[in-house]
Every structure is written in structure tokens, then in C-alpha cells.
Amino acid sequence: MKHFASVMAMAFIAFVLVSCGGKESKTNDSTDSTKTEEQATSGNPDQIYGVEKGMVEYKMVTMGMPTTMTMYWDNYGKKSYTQSTMDMMGIKTTTFMLNDGEFVYSWDGTTKEGTKVKVVKSDNLNYNNMSKDMMDKYHMSKESSQEIQGRMCDVYKMDFEGTKSKTWIWKGIAIKSETTAMGMTVTTEMTKMEEGASAPDGAFEVPAGIKFKEVSAPAK
């Protein structure tokens, strides 16, 4: 069970790394609906996604055990909120992650404690502005382009610290991912996307009543 949980954790971290970005944006917080996609992706390397705001749902499967994830984002990825529910042998657990551009907050639905990690710009992947240094750092390569669920995606491979992954990216957003670690493969795929969807009220606010302990990001 510990082996399985470790693989799930590594796969989840790898997927969040590519799907949630976390790079602080200098874009104005305005949600002006007149902004165009060209405005979103041109001349601003800090924008993580090519879509201003929206919602995406994923299904992650490991050894037949499913995890569902729902992510909302705003301001081209400057802010994101993710809720994940894992079903392990009939026992469901729910965890939450909030990236407000300054910290990444993580907590679960059963305790009043959580952690927060300072966002470090240089350590975050941004598929809208992928540098050679970042590709080299994470041992990444761009393989090809492939259509997934009606969206033409760029396909990236990563081999980093014992974890191998293949990820299909559309406008900076992960559509599908296959991750292998410790001899096990985890497949994650988008099941639903709503471009322009707004997050629930309060989703991007640090939750009250939870004590967050600041921890250092893992050394890379």
C-alpha cells in the first residue's frame, strides 16, 4: 500500500507540475471578456495558459483505482484551484490545492492543517514559454504534435529523477499524461473542459479555519 501511495503521489506531483504551472504572472487581474486569445499569448511570457479562465476535469487511473480532479483557473493561469478525490479500495479521500501566484496551499477535507510553499518562478514549467534551460533541467523533449479529443496538442516527454512521463499539451493545458514510476504506470486524461467557466465563489481565497505551515520546496 505504501508503494502504491508513493507512486500515486509522484504521479500527482508530476501532473500538477505540468498542468497547474504556478509561475507568477504580471498580467492585470482584470477579467475583461473583450480580451482575445492573441492578446493572451503574445508578448507576455508569464502567461501560463492561452485561455483566460476555465474549468477542466481529469480522471487518473492506477491499477484500476481512480482519482478525479477538477481544476479552475483565472487570469491565464495566474490563479488555480484544484480538488482531487481518490478512491482507494472503497475509501475516498479529498484533497485541495490553491495557487494564488504567491504560495501554493495544500490541505485535505478532514483536518484543520495544511502546508504552503512559496512560488519560485524559476522552478515552474510554462508551456507557453518553454525555455531550453527549463527543458534541460527537467530532461524534457518535444516529440511531435497529435490531435487529442479534437485539440491539436504538442507532445512532451520527461525523464526526471526516476519518473518518466509523456504529456499532451494544448494552449499550455495538459490534456493527457502517462507517468511511470517504480514500475507502475498512471494515466491521466481530461474528461471535460469549459473554456470561460468561472470558479465557485471563494475558490481562489485562502480558506479560513485552516492552519498552514510554510515548508520549503523540494530541491531540484
For position 190, which CATH number holds?
2.50.20.10
What per-residue confidence (pLDDT) applies to 192? 97
In a domain, 113, yes or no: yes
Across-strand partners of 173?
170
Can you give the residue range of the structural domain that contains 105? 2-215
Per-residue pLDDT band at 45 (split at 50, 70, 90): low
Banded model confidence at residue 8, pLDDT cuts 50, 70, 90: very low
For 129-176, write each residue's pLDDT tens digit.
788 888 898 899 999 899 999 999 999 999 988 889 999 999 999 999
Q: How many domains does the chain have?
A: 1
The pLDDT, as a whole number, for residue 99 is 93
Band of pLDDT at residue 86, cut at 50, 70 and 90: confident
Residues 29, 79: contact at Cβ < 8 Å?
no
Is the pTM here over 0.85, yes or no?
Answer: no
Distance, CA of 76 to CA of 41 (rounded, Å): 9
State the pLDDT at residue 37. Answer: 41
